[in-house]
């Protein structure tokens, strides 16, 4: 019996075990050592078999934990890349209904927003039952990071000099925080120094400054479709025209479609989220990145990189597009809002050749950021608190993604397909054509369920049968209940 | 001897004592009681005489302290209202030199900025000598307010719920803070409710949102001349045209000149600082306010009210223009930066009929503000901390204004005239025509003195012989030395 035969035999035997539910979805396979002993094979053979199943998308290797059974979503498939013709550039006009949904925060939760309820510490809430359940389910690991961060900000606050309150921070932001950011990006191939960064009030402000710096009213901007609704809002407010480039739920923006658009229209800038884009969770493959950078050079394009989910890769942090930016035309935008806290209101921008304009615009539109908050963050990062938090956060999100995928796989009809991203905060679901998630929004809200309809992620109506579902929160009993209610609403 | 004769006699006798330096500038006159006894007159007579001298600008009544001798600046006079013809509206192009000065923070100090030096707590500084002196001179009273504020923010930070970091604050900002603001403004005649306010990242962002909401690229905006340089920067970045309306150093914008401009050009908005405007410290009299509001109605104008110095009135807080706004066209903009701390980065806007657009713009350009900072501020105000701080702050600023006025009166040539504002943070000086303060900027900086040249406050060159001098800091020995060096530089 050849070794090749042995691992193939083992692979088939494991596959049978998985499909026959000897090992169920989410369960851990025996350790390599145990499997060696049990099957009387070498360690190399077991590893070979496990890795082949991993490559087929049936197992998932978790660092220091072993191999786990993934839900077999292959037969569902990810949502198709929408093969619609590109609509000619036009000013963005987002409908009132969509604006209303956006205004409510386009929730990363399916339970009613707790804003103004639970968040007012110590107040009784309308949703006390589910809130109590949720509180119990909040991972202590995750909370430890936030406690450490808050302690660090508190320390920075107390250590301000007597007269610090009389001075604005420098326009580019705290030098210590910029240095920490530069160091982190250098680990991922970027050559930026602290002086190339400008601190902002969050990624949305970074995107705003980027668009203000490189576009004039009436200019055409290319965006992913589906893509981040915040960018559509910005384009509307700044009087810019949009051209939506189809994006796959797995591999992101279709660069061939982008090239056709560039040939047809004079496009000034392209907003792209190379890592775990919202709403799909797609990650741009290396080849697409190369194409994108080449097209940017050829057509003199500003590439606005939304890197907000970059730190939330379950299996490591992908290098940003900026790392390969030879001609200084990538404007890197990000913040701590998704990876750490939405309440510190600190983001950053590395604007390449537009650095000077961006710094000027930041000064003119908002003067400065809070020094003590920046210093607290800088210490938190320097002391290793952020990396520790990220490790826990990524592991927790990965588990929550699996819980959600398993739940949907088990309880929702098979004709619904969805992406299974390797980072970020949400799945993208494609429901049968007849279903309109925007119409279902009100009905779901009436039953205490908040959804994020596909319509939010485009100025076209291509995604009315789509839905973003977040796995930011643990799948508590009340969230499972909400998913069941939602399925009922959507089926009507 | 009639009573009338008695008080007149007393008044003359006191005047002789003041001019003959029996009581020197800054000194306290005998208490009313002592004066009654000493001069054998009634309390009413003494009060009458004191109040007449106060009305003549020779004495100053300080609550609970008595009457103090003011420097006799009447023979200097305030800077004249500049009688230049209004320049036709034009896009703003601020020169590079001026932009550079602005970028350095247009300092509210004459010592080199401490940013990045002293403010990095615990670090040694290039200016350790003067910094040490300054530190000693920092009023413990003033510092107490900041300590209480930081404690309040620290408490808010610690009391955040476990999951608060997963949610953005609502776009309009913390309801508790908005309620506190609404209550404060209601005490000054405003009818606004908490729902009419929107929290921002500071007054500069409020002004930015206001201009974005009510103007389109190319529109004409009227501003005070001299006026706040931050507004000129905003107009430049937003592609708006400026028309500068002459403003007196005492009574602010010349409303007749504004009316002539309105007759000539189609002006969309007018930015005005009714209380203690920078750089002059002027306060708009009641009649001008009425005219301004009437003109706004007649010419369908948005009135953007910069109220940032409103809380810094030494003898009480003037009602904002917004209080008399019957037609909802005043956009009230302010922040805590001047009255409390430049580092909390919290301001507000009450945008009247533009409220909806402003809220949308805030959401789109920066999403939200820090919840814990807002909650800390709200508690600080609610607990009376802000009022206590303001009382001390106003008294300290008044004393520092007097110190500066006395110093200039004693040491600087008599042909230099300046305003003596009743609030705010700075004096406005008019030097002889030959002097160019912008040219002196570099020479002064070389000698370790930072100035704020008149050129910053206009896009014309009308104020090249003017200078803003701040009294935000105590007049320490090193600041007195800096003023002497400055006089030397200016005389060359």
Q: Which residues from B are below 8 Å from A198, CB to CB?
A: none
User: Which single residue is written with the structure tokens 């189809």?
Assistant: A246
3-state secondary structure of A452: strand
The reported pLDDT for the residue numbered B62 is: 79
The reported pLDDT for the residue numbered A162 is: 78
Model confidence pLDDT, tens digit, residues B333-350: 999 999 999 889 999 999
Does B165 contact A171 at a Cβ distance shorter than 8 Å?
Answer: no
CA-nearest of B401, B454, B181 to B307 is B181
Rounded-to-integer distance, Cα B282 and Cα B302, Å:
21
Complete domains list, chain B, with CATH: 3-70 (1.10.10.10), 94-140+391-491 (3.90.1150.10), 148-386 (3.40.640.10)
pLDDT in tens, chain A (492 residues): 444 578 888 988 898 888 777 887 778 899 999 999 998 999 989 988 898 887 677 788 877 788 888 776 555 667 766 556 788 888 887 777 777 777 666 678 888 855 444 434 333 333 333 333 444 444 555 788 899 999 999 999 998 887 788 888 888 999 999 999 999 999 999 999 999 999 999 999 999 999 999 999 999 999 999 999 999 999 999 999 999 999 999 899 999 999 999 999 999 999 999 999 999 999 999 999 999 999 999 999 999 999 999 999 998 899 999 999 999 999 999 999 999 998 999 999 999 999 999 999 999 998 888 999 999 999 999 999 999 999 999 999 999 999 999 899 889 998 899 988 999 999 999 999 999 999 999 899 899 998 999 999 999 888 999 999 999 999 999 999 999 999 999 987
Q: What does the pLDDT average to over B363-383?
A: 92
Inform me whether the C-beta atom of residue B315 falls under 8 Å from chain A C-beta atoms.
no
Instruction: Look over chain B and give the mean of its residue pLDDT values, rounded to a whole number.
Output: 87
Which DSSP string corresponds to B67-133? Answer: EEEPP-GGGT-PPPPP-PPPPPPEE----HHHHHHHHTT--SSSSPP-TTTTTSTT---TTHHHHHH
Does A150 contact B166 at a Cβ distance shorter than 8 Å?
Answer: no
Checking DSSP bridges between strand B220-225 and strand B267-272, what pairing results, if any? parallel
Rounded-to-integer distance, Cα A128 and Cα A264, Å:
55
Inform me whether the C-beta atom of residue A148 falls under 8 Å from chain B C-beta atoms.
no
In what helix (H) or strand (E) does residue B335 lie, and over which residues does it extend? strand B330-335
Give phi and psi for B241, each to the nearest 5: -95, 150
Which residues 394-413 in chain B show a CB within 8 A of chain A?
none
Residue B85 in tokens: 């013809």
Rounded-to-integer distance, Cα A456 and Cα A389, Å:
31
Rounded-to-integer distance, Cα B241 and Cα B270, Å:
12
Does B343 contact A371 at a Cβ distance shorter than 8 Å?
Answer: yes
Which DSSP string corresponds to A248-281? Answer: ETTTEE-HHHHHHHHHHS-EEEEEE--SS-TTT-
- The model's confidence at residue B289, banded by pLDDT at 50, 70 and 90, is very high
Checking DSSP bridges between strand A267-272 and strand A252-253, what pairing results, if any? unpaired
Does A171 contact B371 at a Cβ distance shorter than 8 Å?
Answer: no
* Nearest-by-CA chain A residue for B238: A212
| Cβ B89 vs Cβ B241: under 8 Å | yes
Which DSSP string corresponds to B235-278? Answer: HHHTT-EEEEEEEETTTEE-HHHHHHHHHHS-EEEEEE--SS-T
The count of CB pairs under 8 A between chains A and B is 203
Of B143, B161, B202, which is closest to A119 when you measure between CB atoms?
B161
Inform me whether the C-beta atom of residue B390 falls under 8 Å from chain A C-beta atoms.
no
User: Which single residue is written with the structure tokens 């509206």?
Assistant: B89
Q: What does the pLDDT average to over B386-398?
A: 93
Whether the link from the prior residue into B279 is cis, omega within 30° of 0, is yes
- The model's confidence at residue B66, banded by pLDDT at 50, 70 and 90, is confident
- Which has more pLDDT, B56 or B349? B349
What Rg, from alpha-carbon coordinates, does chain B have?
24
Inform me whether the C-beta atom of residue B361 falls under 8 Å from chain A C-beta atoms.
yes
Does A364 contact B233 at a Cβ distance shorter than 8 Å?
Answer: yes
pLDDT at position B105 over 70: no
Inform me whether the C-beta atom of residue A158 falls under 8 Å from chain B C-beta atoms.
yes
The residue length of chain B stands at 492
Which residues 224-283 in chain B show a CB within 8 A of chain A?
230, 233-234, 236-237
- Which has more pLDDT, A93 or B257? B257
- Among the residues of A159-227, which ranges form H helices? 175-186, 203-214
User: Which single residue is written with the structure tokens 């990000």?
Assistant: A334
Does A122 contact B159 at a Cβ distance shorter than 8 Å?
Answer: yes
The reported pLDDT for the residue numbered B126 is: 32
Inform me whether the C-beta atom of residue A136 falls under 8 Å from chain B C-beta atoms.
no
Sequence-distant (≥ 6) Cβ neighbours of residue A294 within 8 angstroms: none
Residue A126 in tokens: 């309308």
Rounded-to-integer distance, Cα B197 and Cα B176, Å:
11
CB atoms within 10 A of CB B47: 15
Model confidence pLDDT, tens digit, residues B115-146: 444 434 333 333 333 333 444 444 555 788 89
B6 HSE (CA, 13 A, CB side): 15
Does B366 contact A230 at a Cβ distance shorter than 8 Å?
Answer: no
Which residues 97-126 in chain B show a CB within 8 A of chain A?
99, 103, 105, 108, 113-116, 118-122
Of B119, B208, B370, which is closest to A344 when you measure between CB atoms?
B370
Does A230 contact B364 at a Cβ distance shorter than 8 Å?
Answer: yes
Sequence-distant (≥ 6) Cβ neighbours of residue A433 within 8 angstroms: A465
3-state secondary structure of B320: coil
Q: Which residues from A are below 8 Å from B208, CB to CB?
A: 364-366
Of B99, B114, B205, which is closest to A365 when you measure between CB atoms?
B205
B167-195 per-residue burial string, b: 16 or more CB within 10 A, e: under 16: bbbbbbbbbbbbbbbbebbeeeebebebe
Inform me whether the C-beta atom of residue A154 falls under 8 Å from chain B C-beta atoms.
yes
Q: What sign results for the dihedral spanned by CA atoms B288, B290, B293, B296?
A: negative
The reported pLDDT for the residue numbered A163 is: 79
Of B120, B162, B365, which is closest to A204 when you measure between CB atoms?
B365
Beta bridge partners of B61: B67
Residue A438 in tokens: 């925007």
Does B368 contact A360 at a Cβ distance shorter than 8 Å?
Answer: no
Does B363 contact A202 at a Cβ distance shorter than 8 Å?
Answer: no
3-state secondary structure of A62: strand
Q: What does the pLDDT average to over B283-303?
A: 97
Residue A360 in tokens: 């000027």
Of B119, B164, B202, which is closest to A366 when you measure between CB atoms?
B202
Q: What does the pLDDT average to over B23-37?
A: 87
Inform me whether the C-beta atom of residue A135 falls under 8 Å from chain B C-beta atoms.
yes
Rounded-to-integer distance, Cα B383 and Cα B96, Å:
46
Which DSSP string corresponds to B184-216? Answer: HHHTTT----GGGEEEESSHHHHHHHHHHHH--
Q: Which residues from A are below 8 Å from B113, CB to CB?
A: 167
| Burial category of A491 from C-beta neighbours within 10 Å (exposed 0-12, middle 13-18, buried 19 and up) | exposed
Does A205 contact B367 at a Cβ distance shorter than 8 Å?
Answer: yes
Inform me whether the C-beta atom of residue B25 falls under 8 Å from chain A C-beta atoms.
no
In what helix (H) or strand (E) does residue A456 lie, and over which residues does it extend? none
Does B365 contact A114 at a Cβ distance shorter than 8 Å?
Answer: no
Inform me whether the C-beta atom of residue A201 falls under 8 Å from chain B C-beta atoms.
yes
CA B54 to chain centre: 23
């Amino acid at each position: 019996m050849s070794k090749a035969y042995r691992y193939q035999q083992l692979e088939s035997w494991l596959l049978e075990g998985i499909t026959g539910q000897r090992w169920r979805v989410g369960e851990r396979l025996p350790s390599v050592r145990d499997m060696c002993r049990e099957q009387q094979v070498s360690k190399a053979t077991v590893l070979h078999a496990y890795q082949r199943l991993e490559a087929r998308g049936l197992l998932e290797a978790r660092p220091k934990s072993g191999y786990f059974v993934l839900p077999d979503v292959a037969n569902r498939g990810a949502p198709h890349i929408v093969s619609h013709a590109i609509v000619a550039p036009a000013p963005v006009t987002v409908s009132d209904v969509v604006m209303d949904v956006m205004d409510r925060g386009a929730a990363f939760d399916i339970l009613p927003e707790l804003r103004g309820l639970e968040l007012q510490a110590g107040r009784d809430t309308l949703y006390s039952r589910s809130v109590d359940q949720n509180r119990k389910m909040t991972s202590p690991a995750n909370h430890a990071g936030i406690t450490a961060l808050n302690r660090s900000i508190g320390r920075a606050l107390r250590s301000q000099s007597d007269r610090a309150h009389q001075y604005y921070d420098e326009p580019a932001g705290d030098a210590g925080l910029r240095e920490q950011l530069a160091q982190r990006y250098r680990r991922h191939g970027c050559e930026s120094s602290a002086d190339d960064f400008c601190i902002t009030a969050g990624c949305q402000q970074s995107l705003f400054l980027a668009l203000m710096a490189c576009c004039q009213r009436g200019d055409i901007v290319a965006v992913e479709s589906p893509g981040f609704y915040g960018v559509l809002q910005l384009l509307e407010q700044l009087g810019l025209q949009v051209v939506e480039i189809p994006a796959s739920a797995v591999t992101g923006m279709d660069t061939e479609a982008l090239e056709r658009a560039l040939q047809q229209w004079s496009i000034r800038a392209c907003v792209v989220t190379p890592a775990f884009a919202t709403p799909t969770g797609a990650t741009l493959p290396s080849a697409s990145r190369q194409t994108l950078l080449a097209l940017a050079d050829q057509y003199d394009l500003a590439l606005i990189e939304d890197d907000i989910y970059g730190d939330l890769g379950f299996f490591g942090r992908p290098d940003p597009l900026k790392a390969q930016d030879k001609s200084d035309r990538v404007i890197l935008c990000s913040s701590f809002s998704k990876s750490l806290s939405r309440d510190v209101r600190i983001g950053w921008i590395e604007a390449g050749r537009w650095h000077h304009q961006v710094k000027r615009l930041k000064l003119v539109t908002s003067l400065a950021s809070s020094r003590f908050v920046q210093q607290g963050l800088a210490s938190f990062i320097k002391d290793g608190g952020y990396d520790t938090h990220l490790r826990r956060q990524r592991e927790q999100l990965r588990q929550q993604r699996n819980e959600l995928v398993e739940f949907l796989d088990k309880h929702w009809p098979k004709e619904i397909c969805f992406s299974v991203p390797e980072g970020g905060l949400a799945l993208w679901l494609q429901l049968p054509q007849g279903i309109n998630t925007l119409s279902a929004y009100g009905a779901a809200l009436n039953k205490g369920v908040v959804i994020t309809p596909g319509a939010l992620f485009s100025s076209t109506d291509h995604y009315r049968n789509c839905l973003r579902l977040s796995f930011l929160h643990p799948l508590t009993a009340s969230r499972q209940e909400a998913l069941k209610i939602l399925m009922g609403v959507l089926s009507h």
